[in-house]
């Protein structure tokens, strides 16, 4: 967990200087309804060849529920990877979502809108607990899917803003980062 937060802070710092960090995007929504619980968080490996969790696991009411596209896009892949049914949506701007284990009647090239059903959840990713694995890549890098549907700022920024003076938010945040990550 410490590594995740350190990495998150490192990734967010440059963004914070240029624009508001990690605001959710109104053109994206959760791929399950109702809003699912996050059963396993994004945990990218330190090195590409190492193990990690390149996405988030979202809890479902039961296997067989519909999985919906979190944003508009084009289906770029439907098939089986190793032993898991996978569907990938290309959202443009270098962003691609992948879902597994999800079987889909769609084929590559199909256009989807946000909220369109793209397939049905299969069992197995979280053992006996129904869940869908959602990964998002920006170009070739996996990013945290939650940044598109959740405001990730409060857990990092709000305690600092409340505690700090009005001036120098970014400096205060940097100073406070070890407290948050430690
Ligand atoms: Zn997973």
What is the tens place of the pLDDT at every residue in 77-93?
999 999 999 999 999 99
pTM: 0.73
> Residue 112 maps to which CATH number?
2.70.70.10
Q: How far is the CA of 133 from the centre of ligand 1 (A)?
A: 4
- Statement to judge: residues 34 and 109 lie in one domain: yes
- Statement to judge: residues 3 and 53 lie in one domain: no
Q: How far is the CA of 66 from the centre of ligand 1 (A)?
A: 17
Mean per-residue pLDDT of the chain: 82
> Which of 48, 50, 51, 60 minimizes the C-alpha distance to 137?
48
* Position 65 confidence tier, pLDDT thresholds 50, 70, 90: very high
> Which of 105, 95, 104 minimizes the C-alpha distance to 73?
95
Range of the domain at 6: 1-23+151-182
> Which of 36, 26, 27 minimizes the C-alpha distance to 65?
36
- Statement to judge: residues 41 and 109 lie in one domain: yes
In whole angstroms, give the CA distance from residue 53 to residue 44.
5
Q: How far is the CA of 41 from the centre of ligand 1 (A)?
A: 8
Residue 5, pLDDT score: 52
Q: How far is the CA of 160 from the centre of ligand 1 (A)?
A: 31
Using DSSP's 3-state secondary structure scheme, residue 103 falls into strand
Return the beta strands (E) in the chain as ranges: 38-40, 56-59, 66-68, 73-81, 84-92, 95-100, 102-103, 111-112, 117-121, 131-138, 141-143
- Statement to judge: residues 19 and 79 lie in one domain: no
């Amino acid at each position: 967990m410490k590594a995740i937060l350190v990495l998150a802070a490192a990734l967010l710092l440059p963004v914070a200087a240029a624009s508001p960090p990690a605001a959710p995007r109104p053109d994206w929504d959760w791929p399950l309804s109702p809003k699912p619980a996050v059963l396993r968080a994004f945990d990218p490996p330190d090195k590409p060849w190492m193990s990690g969790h390149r996405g988030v696991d979202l809890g479902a009411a039961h296997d067989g529920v519909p999985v919906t596209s979190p944003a508009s896009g084009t289906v770029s892949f439907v098939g089986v990877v190793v032993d898991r049914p996978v569907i990938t949506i290309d959202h443009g701007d270098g962003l691609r979502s992948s879902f597994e284990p999800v079987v889909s009647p769609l084929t590559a090239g199909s256009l989807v809108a946000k909220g369109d059903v793209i397939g049905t959840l299969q069992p197995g990713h979280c053992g006996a607990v129904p869940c869908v694995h959602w990964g998002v890549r920006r170009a070739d890098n996996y990013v945290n899917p939650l940044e598109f549907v959740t405001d990730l700022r409060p857990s990092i920024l709000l305690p600092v803003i409340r505690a700090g003076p009005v001036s120098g938010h970014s400096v205060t945040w940097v100073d406070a980062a070890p407290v948050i990550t430690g």
